[in-house]
A and B are shown apart, each in its own frame.
Chain A
Amino acid sequence: MKRLCLQNKNSELFTLTYGALVTQLCKDYENDEEVNKQLDKMGYNIGVRLIEDFLARSSIGRCQDFRETADVIAKVAFKMYLGITPSVTNWSPAGDEFSLILENNPLVDFVELPDNHSTLVYSSLLCGVLRGALEMVQMAVDVRFAQDTLRGDSVTEIRMKFIKRIEENLPAGDE
């Protein structure tokens, strides 16, 4: 059931487009795990390009550490592309893992998950986007949804873990 939307028309179209995409994937693959994987893959392909647009528009330079990265993701990137500012919390003691808490997730406006899709991670695309984008700036990360409002949780929580720094490689030299 459509509810009154106070955001501008662009975000409505975006939400509906995403919904149509997920619905089609569900029809094509008939298996929630496979759909999650496809969404993640698409997200990855988006992320590796989105990072360039982000760097060009925000003129942000390299982050010094993972904490700065987390802040930039939450306060600049999410704001720029989704119009929301998640909070950064739950840092692990080693400082290599944190959570992004989204009070509202624009992707899931108007959405209810039917019972037969209980393992579908609807916003998997976001995980792929974050993973792909960070890989292009030399960071290998693992991104997953720890909580999801569509599955009954009170907030949406994205957990991001730093795996390793991807080193620059020198091109193969001459003999």
Chain B
Amino acid sequence: MTVHNLYIFDRNGSCLYYNEWNRKKQAGISKDEEFKLMYGMLFSIRSFVSKMSPLDMYPSQARPVSACLPVCLSACLCLSACLCLPPCQSVVLSSLSVLRKEGFMSFQTSKYRLHYYETPSGLRFVMNTDLSVPNARETLQHIYSSLYVEYIVKNPVCVLGQSLDSELFSSRLDSFIRGLPFYSPRAA
């Protein structure tokens, strides 16, 4: 049970923050390239998911909480070095609460799951965890509201849109991640 890494992007594609906890394999490219690749891919997935959705993504009435729409993503998983799952196993989109349009939320491979959360202000949170974590949306929302907003937005010294260099934010985020119920580094 673990969290591998976390990226925070702003609406322009700059990676504001990155940290890893249990990453066993690097991507083999420079960090800058990795961030660009991650952001670009997510941008494409979001528009793909919305375009190819067989249902109306903007419901005018409430939908049941756990309606899930399996969407084939195996083509988009060519990024991952791991085995691609059979198409119907990539559950990426579900209409959650009343009157919200959520779009892309996560993808999984046979080894890890990537969770995505985007605020209406364009901030994107991406977290890779192992498969034991079905939904990290609330975790990412908490990181946004209780950590990002509190320690970065409310700090006049922190310039928005630039790399987050607040020590307080980093250390609080680190403690938060390590304190998550699904975080427990496997013994090497």
Contact = CB atoms under 8 A, between A and B. Distances in A.
Contacts of A61: 99-102, 120
A152 interface: no
Nearest to A137: B120
Given A168-B11, A171-B36, A49 B144 contact: no
B162 interface: no
B14 interface: yes
A141 to B, nearest CB: 15
Contacts of B154: 49, 53
B17 interface: no
Nearest to B119: A55
Contacts of B144: 56
B122 A138 contact: yes
Contacts of A168: 11, 43, 122
B145 interface: yes
- Interface residues of A toward B: which range? 20 to 34
A136 B58 contact: no
- Interface residues of B toward A: which range? 20 to 34
A68 to B, nearest CB: 9
A170 B13 contact: yes
A77 interface: no
B40 interface: yes
Contact of B149 (A56, A59, A64): A56
B182 to A, nearest CB: 22
B160 interface: yes
A156 B146 CA distance: 35
A33 interface: no
Contacts of A170: 13, 40, 43
Interface in A49-107: 49, 51-53, 55-57, 59-62, 64
B26 interface: no
Contact of B160 (A49, A55, A173, A174): A49
A174 B29 CA distance: 14
A169 interface: yes
A48 B123 CA distance: 13
18 contacts: A49-B153, A52-B119, A52-B123, A52-B149, A53-B149, A53-B153, A55-B120, A55-B121, A56-B144, A56-B148, A61-B102, A64-B58, A136-B121, A136-B122, A138-B122, A170-B43, A171-B14, A171-B40
Interface of A: 48-49, 51-53, 55-57, 59-62, 64, 136-138, 168-171, 173-174
Given A48-B160, A136-B122, A170-B40, 6 more contacts: A61-B101, A62-B101, A137-B122, A169-B12, A171-B14, A171-B36
